[in-house]
Amino acid sequence: MNWENKLPQFPEPYWRDSVKLPSFSKLTEDKKVDVAIVGGGISGITAAYLLTKQGLNVALLEADKLLNGTTGHTTAKITAQHDIIYDELISHFGEEKARLYYEANYDALNFIKKTTRELHIDCDFIEEDAYVYTNSEEKLSKLQKEAAAYSRLSIAGGLVDSMPLDLEMKSAIVMKNQAQYHPLKFMKVLVDKITEAGGSIYEQTTATDVEPGNHPVVTTKDGHKVTCDYLIVGSHFPFYDKGFYFTRMYAERSYLLALKTKKSYPGGMYLSAETPKRSIRYTPFNGENLVIVAGEKHKTGHGTNTFQHYEHLAEFGDELFGIEEVVNRWSAQDLTTLDKIPYIGAMTKDNPNIFVATGYRKWGMTTGTAAGMLLCDIILQKQNPYEQLYTPSRFQADPSVKQFIAQNADVGGHFVAGKIGMVHKTVDELQPDEGAVVKVNGKRAGCYKDANGKLHIVDTTCTHLGCEVEWNDGERSWDCPCHGSRFSFSGEVMEGPAVEPLKKVHLD
């Protein structure tokens, strides 16, 4: 089946219009607070909620709208089952740290569960078992090792030969009593509690620089300053990077569909062990269940035809459930660290009052919550068992060295390839709602022709470190293959580490 005309034209999460989030004004004056938080995602909101509960004066700065970035584009699983990970963690870090990783995420799940009950939040919180399944002999061996790791770590679950979802599989591993929810419904209540407790929230307020010291000073794009005792940089990719995080993480895109299906959903949350990845869950929506199908990950800026990833997911969903309607489609960007464990804690040893929270892979709902909880404890000088596990200053010889070399060699290759890449279209050849790399005034440029025929032309040199961006036809964006920066068709920053927009190009 040709899905091109059956998928929604513009990518948007299914929950975007189902929750009316409050609006907040830009920062228009200098401020002095106890804690400044840059980034209005789950880690920042969780930290702000917990800190304001303790009476601290908190200011949260968001460059765009709250929950409009990675947190707003999640699959919304709340789980400690992060693919096949625990045997690997035991191998690289030992049994104690592997157990701490599980317990940190399980604590985050329980925090969400407890908070939902205490604040009477109607956020579609549903406990479900989580499964990783395989049809591969190679992955079958890995699942067996993972089951042994579950046993060593006392994780409720293990190998099973059947699942509630009827799909072809050789085996699966289950983790009991995980959960899913509606993230915007949950975090809207936390946002309300933050402001009720005296916390300040500012939208459309882009932080551009930090002056470190005993009282760090955050400078915004408009020139205003926020002085604080503690600073949390929770802006997905750190906008202020004194730890060379752009060399220690890589960005991946993945894709999601919300489906009305002919077959009913049997419950449970599912993830394929092999690639291409397939993640499956359901959600209550307007009195019925939508099926969420996700997967098709690739490194940002490396996709040649990103729209095809949605088509592949639609084919999979139709074969499994029978699709009546594709209600929504959207994509997500996730950051993976060298050793797959997030960086949460002091950004550098020299600045113990400036914290970073990043690198959650695909599991930001749990690890982002754990980050907010951990940073709150550090600021309040409370003991937290997970501080050393997540400390950003760690560097494991295995696997960090291998990943560091591989990722940065890949960056160098794309830097060179982008500069000498062929240009295949001219501006005149572009159709309405089409973008491409073109040659303008004798130089490489990027051009998008909108539905009204207006041209939006930009310099394709990324403003972070000078790699060449590529066109993402699925999201109508310019994506950098080196460090994952993303820009709108008109050049505005959508994802860091870049902080400056692409330069405009004008036709002679």
Task: Provide the residue-wise pLDDT of the chain in tens; the chain has 508 residues.
Answer: 778 778 887 788 877 777 888 899 999 999 999 999 999 889 999 999 999 999 999 999 999 888 776 676 778 899 999 999 999 999 999 999 999 999 999 999 999 999 999 999 999 999 999 999 999 988 999 999 999 999 999 999 999 999 999 999 999 999 999 999 999 999 999 999 999 999 999 999 999 999 999 999 999 999 999 999 999 999 888 888 787 887 888 888 899 999 999 999 999 999 999 989 999 999 998 889 999 999 998 887 665 677 889 999 999 999 999 999 999 999 888 889 989 999 999 998 889 999 999 999 989 999 999 999 999 999 999 999 999 999 998 865 455 445 544 545 555 554 445 555 556 678 888 999 889 999 888 888 999 999 888 999 999 999 888 888 988 887 888 998 887 888 999 999 888 788 889 999 988 7
- Does residue 440 contact residue 422 with C-beta atoms inside 8 Å? no
Nearest to 399 by CA among 318, 337, 343, 347: 337
Q: Which residues contact 406 (CB under 8 A, 6 or more apart)?
A: none
Strand 443-449 and strand 455-458: the pairing is antiparallel
Report the alpha-carbon distance of residue 508 to residue 154 in Å, rounded: 68
- Give the amino acid at 331: S
Report the alpha-carbon distance of residue 25 to residue 170 in Å, rounded: 54
Report the alpha-carbon distance of residue 213 to residue 121 in Å, rounded: 39
Under DSSP, the state recorded for 46 is: H
Report the alpha-carbon distance of residue 229 to residue 306 in Å, rounded: 43
Residue 61, phi-psi category: left (phi > 0), alpha (psi -120 to 50), beta (remainder): beta
Q: How far is CA 421 from CA 138, 176, 489, in A?
A: 37, 49, 20
Under DSSP, the state recorded for 2 is: -
And the tokens for 279?
């993640």
And the tokens for 157?
């679950």
- Does residue 477 contact residue 410 with C-beta atoms inside 8 Å? no
